[in-house]
Structure 1
Amino acid sequence: MKIAVQVRLLPSPEERAALEYTLHTCNEAANWLSQQAHAKSERDRTRKALQGFAYTLLKDRGLSAQPALHVLRKVADAYTVLKGNLKAGNLGKPGSERRRRAESKPVVFRPDAAQPYDDRCLSWQYAAQTVSIWTMAGRLRGVRFVCSEQARKTLQSHRKGETDLVHRDGMWFLIATCEVSEGKQIDPAGFIGVDLGIVNIATTSDGKIYVGRELNRHRRCQLRLRAKLQRKGTKSAKRVLKRQRRKESRRAAHINHVISKSIVTEAERTEHGIGMEDLAGIRERARLRKPQRVTLHSWAFAQLGQFIAYKARRAGVPVLFVDPAYTSRICAECGHTDKANRVSQAWFACRSCGVVAHADRNASRNIRARAWKLWRRGAESHAPAPVRGAGRGRTITASGGRTASPALRAE
Structure 2
Amino acid sequence: MKIVVQVKLLTEADQAAALRSTLRAVNDLATWVSEVAFVNDVPREYELRKHTYAHLKEQGLGAQAAQHVIKKVRDAYTTLKANIRAGNLGKEGSKRRRKAESKPIVFRCEAAQPYDDRCLSWRYDQRTVSIWTTSGRLKNIRYVCSAEALKTLQAYRQGESDLIERDGVFYLVATCEVPEAEQYEPDGFIGVDLGMANIATTSTGYQVAGRGLNRYRKRQLALRAKLQKKRTKSAKRRLKERSRREQRHVKNTNHIIAKMIVTEAERTGRGLALEELQGIRTRVRLRKPQRVALHCWAFAQLADFIVYKAKRAGVPLVFVDPAYTSQTCAECGHVDKRNRLDQGLFICRGCGVVAHADRNASHNIATRGERVWNAGRESRVPATP
CA distance in 1, matches of 2:86, 2:288: 27
Would you say 1:26 and 2:26 are equivalent positions? yes
Alignment of 1:176-195 (within 5 A): 176-195=174-193
Match of 2:142 among 128, 141, 144: 144
Matched residue, 1:408:
none
Matched residue, 2:205:
207
Matched residue, 1:6:
6
CA distance in 2, matches of 1:239, 1:186: 52
Matched residue, 1:174:
172
Alignment of 1:348-367 (within 5 A): 348-367=346-365
**1:192·1:274 contact (CA, 8 Å) conserved in 2?**
yes
**1:346·1:359 contact (CA, 8 Å) conserved in 2?**
yes
Shift in Å at residue 57 of structure 1? 1.4
Q: Bigger CA drift: 81-90 or 146-155? A: 81-90
Would you say 1:60 and 2:61 are equivalent positions? no
CA distance in 2, matches of 1:262, 1:49: 49
Alignment of 1:111-122 (within 5 A): 111-122=109-120
CA distance in 1, matches of 2:234, 2:58: 43
Per the alignment, in what secondary structure is the counterpart of residue 324 of structure 1? Answer: coil
Matched residue, 1:397:
none
Per the alignment, in what secondary structure is the counterpart of residue 88 of structure 2? Answer: coil
1:35 partner amino acid: E
CA distance in 2, matches of 1:59, 1:49: 16
Shift in Å at residue 190 of structure 1? 0.8
Deviations 1:145-181 (A, max 9, x none): 1111000000011000000001112221100000010
CA distance in 2, matches of 1:237, 1:52: 48
CA distance in 2, matches of 1:246, 1:61: 34
Matched residue, 1:246:
244
2:279 partner amino acid: G
1:75 partner amino acid: V
Identity %: 61
Would you say 1:39 and 2:39 are equivalent positions? yes
Bigger radius of gyration: 2
Match of 1:326 among 310, 313, 324: 324
Which has the higher relative contact order, 1 or 2, with Cα contacts under 8 A spaced 6 or more apart?
1
2:246 partner amino acid: E
Matched residue, 1:91:
89
Change (3 A) 1:114 1:379: farther
CA distance in 1, matches of 2:89, 2:342: 36
**1:22·1:136 contact (CA, 8 Å) conserved in 2?**
yes
Matched residue, 2:381:
none
Alignment of 1:273-292 (within 5 A): 273-292=271-290
Shift in Å at residue 88 of structure 1? 2.2
Would you say 1:299 and 2:297 are equivalent positions? yes
Shift in Å at residue 90 of structure 1? 2.1
Matched residue, 2:229:
231
Match of 1:262 among 257, 260, 264: 260
Shift in Å at residue 324 of structure 1? 0.9
Shift in Å at residue 379 of structure 1? 6.8
CA distance in 1, matches of 2:377, 2:167: 44
2:148 partner amino acid: Q
Matched residue, 2:161:
163
Is there any run of 5+ residues in structure 1 with no aligned partner, and where?
381-411
Would you say 1:271 and 2:301 are equivalent positions? no
1:179 partner amino acid: E
Per the alignment, in what secondary structure is the counterpart of residue 210 of structure 1? Answer: strand
CA distance in 2, matches of 1:206, 1:316: 19
CA distance in 1, matches of 2:259, 2:193: 16
Per the alignment, in what secondary structure is the counterpart of residue 358 of structure 2? Answer: helix
Shift in Å at residue 253 of structure 1? 0.5
Matched residue, 1:341:
339
CA distance in 2, matches of 1:160, 1:6: 14
Per the alignment, in what secondary structure is the counterpart of residue 120 of structure 1? Answer: coil
Q: Bigger CA drift: 278-287 or 157-166? A: 278-287
1:73 partner amino acid: K
**1:45·1:79 contact (CA, 8 Å) conserved in 2?**
no
1:204 partner amino acid: T
Per the alignment, in what secondary structure is the counterpart of residue 24 of structure 1? Answer: helix
Shift in Å at residue 240 of structure 1? 0.7
Is there any run of 5+ residues in structure 2 with no aligned partner, and where?
379-385
TM-score by length of 1: 0.90
CA RMSD for the aligned pairs? 1.3
**1:116·1:162 contact (CA, 8 Å) conserved in 2?**
yes
Instruction: Please list every run of at least 4 consecutive aligned residues from structure 1 whose deviation after the TM superposition is greater than 3 angstroms.
Output: none
CA distance in 2, matches of 1:203, 1:379: 27
